[in-house]
Amino acid sequence: MNSVYLSHNNIISAYGFDSAAAVSSIKNEVSGLSLVDDSKILPNPFYSSLIPQGSLSEAFEKLNPKEAYTRLEQILLVSLADTIKKSGIELSDRVGLIVSTTKGNIDVLEDDSPFDEERAYLNELGKKIENFFGFKNEAIVLSNACVSGVLALAVAKRFIHQKRYDHVFVVAGDLVSKFILTGFNSFQALSETPCRPYCKTRAGINIGEVGCSVLVTADNTNLVDESVRIIGEASCNDANHISGPSRTGEGLYRSIVSAMNQAEIEADAIDYISAHGTATNYNDEMEAIAFNRANLQHTPLNSLKGYFGHTLGASGLLETIIGMYSLHSNTLFASLGFQELGVSKPLHIIKKTTAKESSIFLKTASGFGGCNTAAIFQKVNS
Amino acid sequence: MSELKLELKEKIIEQLNLEDVSVDEIADNDPLFGEGLGLDSIDALELIVMLDKDYGIKLADPKEGRKIFESIDTMAAYIAANRSN
Amino acid sequence: MSSADYKIKSYCHIRDGKVSKNGEVLFSDSSEEFSAFIKATYKHFETDYSKFFKMDNLSKLAFMGAEVLLRDTDEKNIALILSNRASSLDTDRKHQAAISKQSGAFASPAVFVYTLPNICMGEISIRHELYSENSFFIFAEFKPHLLSDYANDLLETEKANEVLCGWVDYDKGKYDAFLYVIAKKGLLPLDTGELTKLYRTK
């Protein structure tokens, strides 16, 4: 089967408007989380990482928009514009577009939104992006809870294998909104402090905001230095509960095993795990069980939620892009917020950013609906 | 107290969408979770919201819920002792 | 095995007060409201699954469609690839209404959990013990060629032995489900024209 690669990429985040800005802050163990006091979202202040609207508007105006766009659309368009431009790829009928989001323009349901409620339909969001750049193919919107961002890469690969497309641009994003914050709050899942994945003192999630995009391609002639090949991926459901993580880590364990089988590697070939690590009690415990069952308890692992918070439908793609830079720079990034192991099984949490020769990493994610995804990436330039 | 218990049973049946369960079928000391009514973790969260919304009681620690929501008896006793409306 | 060899094993429509399998009407009900119709459907198929009543409308619709197609199968490695237009907007609006109340806004966790379209696939997975691939796509309309591409890939890479595919949409009281199982053996060839025709069949 032909190889499929991840190449040109962009991250719009609290750190800045390209991947390099995010990567350099992470390297220095600087969190993007800060205390946000916005009673329109939640009555009490909460920790989050937000994209500054001023810089976003400025970057967006440079794209010469001809009509009004929502905040999320602006984020996605600014990110994707950069990735498309850098790739130099002409948007022919062989080029696909995948939009990964859980809630899209959900803020237009608010009473004071200037946008029509139609805009809340995710296919309308897809159409806005598709038309802005003039994609020849209709946008494929993937909305699969918190695995969407990494599952979108598997979806892109599968469409390329089926010869539907030669290249696929994947763009991902979700907003920090009252809709999301009040919901997670009703789940008693929000942390009042910056989150601490896998730590004994962890007390829940922070929700954050990014937009990110990547080129997924079968063409290896114009790859970037940090490019990786997708060597295995799989998604398995827990078949257990729609919100509570499985107590046996069933779906995640099965996803990892299936992805390793496809990649034809054993656990010891994996140099690094970019895990989900939301910092809720049940999620992190579930992951520890699954990683132990997969014999990955000694593999260096981090969660990047301490930098960005949980960025929902973007998180899987965001964390994969960071993983690409991690491999490329042979650097393991610290799992920010972690102090002392607070799960029942051993894990090798990366405490300090350290140099390590690496060529293969595993990305995992889990979400509501019992979904789990594992994807394995191998460095192209070693 | 018996009025409060009846009210709780009605609310639980309605808000947790327990189809084909009547008030008479829930004994005051029946376990609500597991074997008894078979409520799950989302129902427990829903009961926490109900305490707040209908009785003005905010649980400082959601883990407290486990003891409070053992049965209609324990729920009613907790609400009677802590309610603010 | 090449993709041309895959077949449509069975299919199901739920729309306009009718439930049909392979073109044959199995149940019809004149209830105007979806809630009454889907409850009557549940009773007709003697489903006996109390969690059904906790589900949102989209999940109830998808659940009953899967019930019709999967209740007699022993196959457990069945991937789920569902799609619709309205995502979970019906439930999203309920959550938004609850948090927008002027006096006393309270989010309900039991509502919030259904504000994702893929939850209905979680419900189907739990019911039929499917530890399999799940993907939920949003399109303006039913896109059989894309779903078939995706299903073919899962079958060719042996990630699934069968795939439950289709369209399941619930919006503003209107409902439309067309689900089908793709397998190595079956009734009809797996073909975009065939699927479009079946989808449109009343």
pLDDT-derived band at C89, boundaries 50, 70, 90: very high
CB contact under 8 A, B18 and C104: no
Q: Is C107 left (phi over 0), alpha (psi -120 to 50) or beta?
A: beta
CATH of span A228-379: 3.40.47.10
pLDDT at site A382? 56
Q: Of A242, A184, A237, A204, which Cα lies nearest the Cα of A42?
A: A184
Q: Identify the closest residue of chain B to A242 by CA–CA distance.
A: B42
pLDDT at site C202? 66
Q: Identify the closest residue of chain A to C135 by CA–CA distance.
A: A144
pLDDT-derived band at C3, boundaries 50, 70, 90: low
pLDDT at site B36? 77
* pLDDT of A197 higher than 60: yes
Distance CA A1, CA A356 (A): 30
Can you tell me the mean pLDDT for C123-148? 98
Summarize pLDDT for A269-319 with one digit per residue, the tens: 999 999 999 999 999 999 999 999 999 999 999 999 999 999 999 999 999
Summarize pLDDT for C157-197 with one digit per residue, the tens: 999 999 999 999 999 999 999 999 999 999 899 999 999 99
Summarize pLDDT for A367-381 with one digit per residue, the tens: 999 999 999 999 997
pLDDT at site B66? 86
Sequence-ordered list of residues with C-beta below 8 angstroms from that of C191, at least 6 positions apart, any chain: none
How does the average pLDDT of chain C come out, rounded? 95
**Backbone torsions φ then ψ of A218, nearest 5 degrees:** -90, -5
Helices marked H in C4-136: 34-44, 57-70, 89-100, 109-112, 119-128
pLDDT at site A153? 98
pLDDT at site A72? 98
CB contact under 8 A, C109 and B53: no
pLDDT at site A1? 62
Q: Identify the closest residue of chain B to C108 by CA–CA distance.
A: B46
The ipTM, to two decimals, is 0.97
Q: Which domains does chain C have, with CATH numbers?
A: 3-200 (3.40.47.10)
pLDDT-derived band at A90, boundaries 50, 70, 90: very high
Q: DSSP strand E in A41-144: where?
A: 46-48, 95-100, 140-142
Summarize pLDDT for A3-58 with one digit per residue, the tens: 999 999 999 999 999 999 999 999 999 999 999 999 999 999 999 999 999 999 99
CA A251 to chain centre: 19
Distance CA A112, CA A109 (A): 8
Q: What subunits make at least 3 CB pairs under 8 angstroms with B?
A: A, C
The beta-carbon neighbor of C109 closest among B20, B46, B53 is: B46
Fold of A5-217: Peroxisomal Thiolase; Chain A, domain 1 (3.40.47)
Is the pTM higher than 0.95? yes
SS3 content of chain B, % helix, strand, coil (to 5): 60, 0, 40
Domain(s) labelled CATH 3.40.47.10 in chain A stretch across 5-217, 228-379
Summarize pLDDT for B9-52 with one digit per residue, the tens: 999 999 999 988 999 999 999 999 987 788 999 999 999 999 99
pLDDT at site C105? 83
Q: Of B37, B64, C128, C15, which Cα lies nearest the Cα of A370?
A: C128
Distance CA B26, CA C112 (A): 27
Share of chain A above pLDDT 90, in %: 99
Distance CA B69, CA C49 (A): 24
CATH of span B2-18+27-82: 1.10.1200.10
